[in-house]
Amino acid sequence: MAIVSSAIVTPRNLKVAFLLRERDNYFTGEESYGYGYFLNSGLYNSAKMAQEMLRDRLGLDTDLAQLPNSNYIDRYVHDNRPDIVIIEAYWVTPAKLRELIPLHPSVLWVVRNHSSIPFLSLEGVVMQWSLDYIDIPNVVLSNNDLRTNHHMAQIIQIMRPDLNQGAVNANCVLLPNYYPPELRRENDPPFARDTVNIGLFGAIRPLKNHLNQAVAAIEYCDKRNLKLNFHINATRIEQGGSPILRNIEQLFAHMPQEQFRLIEHDWLERDDFLELVEQMDVGMQVSFAETYNITAADFVTASKPMVVSPEITWIHPKYYANPTDTTDIRHGLARAMKARNHTNLKRLRLFSLWSAGQWNAFLHSPAVLGEEWNPTPGRDDLYCIKRLPNYIEVPDPDDPEDILFE
């Protein structure tokens, strides 16, 4: 069972390190899992935003490092002396963590999952590793999504009926995405051109639903006699996504070229990507599975409308579309193109405040006992020395009294 050592310092002088795995591909079309990067990945951007929030908003000493593999962790921790190490995504095995614990007994290790359960189903070791982490001292499993964290906690409770709810909550904690919600540009004037630029950016994976969205975009423009420039990233292909890209290319190859254009972009550095977003008229992220979606936030802070699936819970529901219903996605595009963006920006700002509060609650959770906790049925939450307060529920978008509802 994961235990916080009595040697861990208080939040006033915590040092927190975010560790990611460095990979040797540059997203040039090779099949690769997206937890590594040289060019910035979504995982890197997520970790960087959280690291900067802890530093700038909560006043902590923080660092973010890219390591070639898990054999470099011991040297990094020895040289930098962090109190909490956040391992971003699944690249450190339970066996390696068991090696590291006696070498650094005062460090709290947090393995932070960034994927929903449907997405995790495409990775062969994730469930085994997640449940193995629970039984390693000083190791905590974390999720960036409220729903995923709830379900993982339920699985842990079923797996370990000897644990009370406080103990489960202590070892499966919610650490959401944080996004700095500053507006980068004002709203564009109402769309009144004969060509629409639609951006469907991100790695090409099965659960991203690229092909169905491409069909919806073509139908939307055809019914309005608009020319379409359909923008995608074509050089980051993951989890068997190559046939998806080929099908999209073949689809557009058979369309009238003077009206429907597929524009393929390389994977870009973040500043270059944000400039590309500002050239779009609308964004699409009608995915089958999501936990947060930084690309949607990039569009919202650029005052660009979005159509998304209900998986992206912080976006207002009026911009949702059913990912399996091409007609509904087309109607979602129509709604988004007519809308202004202030509602989603306000929701993003509130989500970011809520996220910072979740991180702050975790960092102030009590570490009061020096003894190791041996889980025994019936022991109360006094022995759950990492327990978190009840987390704040995200406001209900279907409640007309909700402060975000418009």
- 391 falls in which pLDDT band (50, 70, 90)? very low
Mean pLDDT, residues 368-374: 31
- Helix 126-133 / helix 146-159 crossing angle, nearest 10 deg: 70
pLDDT in the model for residue 26: 42
The C-alpha atoms of residue 129 and residue 247 are separated, in whole angstroms, by 34
Lowest mean pLDDT among 73-87, 182-196, 298-312, 345-359: 182-196
Query: Residues 61, 16: contact at Cβ < 8 Å?
Result: yes
Which pLDDT tens digit goes with each residue over 134-161?
Answer: 889 899 999 999 999 999 999 999 998 9
Lowest mean pLDDT among 12-26, 110-124, 203-217, 234-248: 12-26
Which pLDDT tens digit goes with each residue over 193-234?
Answer: 899 999 999 999 999 999 999 999 999 999 999 999 999 999
pLDDT in the model for residue 164: 83
Assess whether pLDDT exceeds 50 at residue 403: no
276 CB-near residues (< 8 Å, 6+ apart) = 199, 201, 231, 265, 268
Mean pLDDT, residues 285-295: 96
pLDDT in the model for residue 317: 93
The C-alpha atoms of residue 130 and residue 152 are separated, in whole angstroms, by 9
The C-alpha atoms of residue 39 and residue 29 are separated, in whole angstroms, by 13
Assess whether pLDDT exceeds 60 at residue 366: no
- 121 falls in which pLDDT band (50, 70, 90)? confident
Domain boundaries in the chain? Answer: 11-179+352-383, 195-340
Query: Residues 306, 299: contact at Cβ < 8 Å?
Result: yes
Predicted structure pTM score: 0.83
CATH architecture of 195-340: 3-Layer(aba) Sandwich (3.40)
Pick the CATH number of 11-179+352-383 from 3.30.360.10, 3.40.50.9100, 3.90.1170.40, 3.90.580.10: 3.40.50.9100
The mean pLDDT of the chain is 83
Assess whether pLDDT exceeds 70 at residue 39: no
